[in-house]
Chain A
Amino acid sequence: DAKTTQPPSMDCAEGRAANLPCNHSTISGNEYVYWYRQIHSQGPQYIIHGLKNNETNEMASLIITEDRKSSTLILPHATLRDTAVYYCIVRVGSSGTYKYIFGTGTRLKVLA
Chain B
Amino acid sequence: GAVVSQHPSRVICKSGTSVKIECRSLDFQATTMFWYRQFPKQSLMLMATSNEGSKATYEQGVEKDKFLINHASLTLSTLTVTSAHPEDSSFYICSARLNSYEQYFGPGTRLTVT
Contacts and interface: CB of A to CB of B under 8 A. Distances in A.
Interface in B1-49: 1, 4, 6, 34, 36, 42-46, 49
Contacts, number: 48
A99 B101 contact: no
Chain A interface size, under 10 / 10 to 19 / 20 to 34 / 35 or more = 20 to 34
Given A99-B34, A99-B49, A44 B44 contact: yes
Contacts of B106: 43
Contacts of B107: 42-43
A41 B46 contact: no
Interface of A: 32, 36, 41-46, 49, 87, 95, 97-105
5 contacts: A43-B4, A43-B95, A45-B105, A101-B46, A105-B43
Contact of A41 (B43, B44, B102, B108): B108
Nearest to A103: B43
A43 B93 contact: yes
Contact of B101 (A44, A49, A101): A49
Interface of B: 1, 4, 6, 34, 36, 42-46, 49, 91, 93, 95, 97, 100-108, 110
Contacts of A98: 97, 100
Nearest to B48: A99
Nearest to A46: B1
Nearest to A49: B101
Contacts of B46: 99-102
Contacts of B36: 102
B108 A42 contact: yes
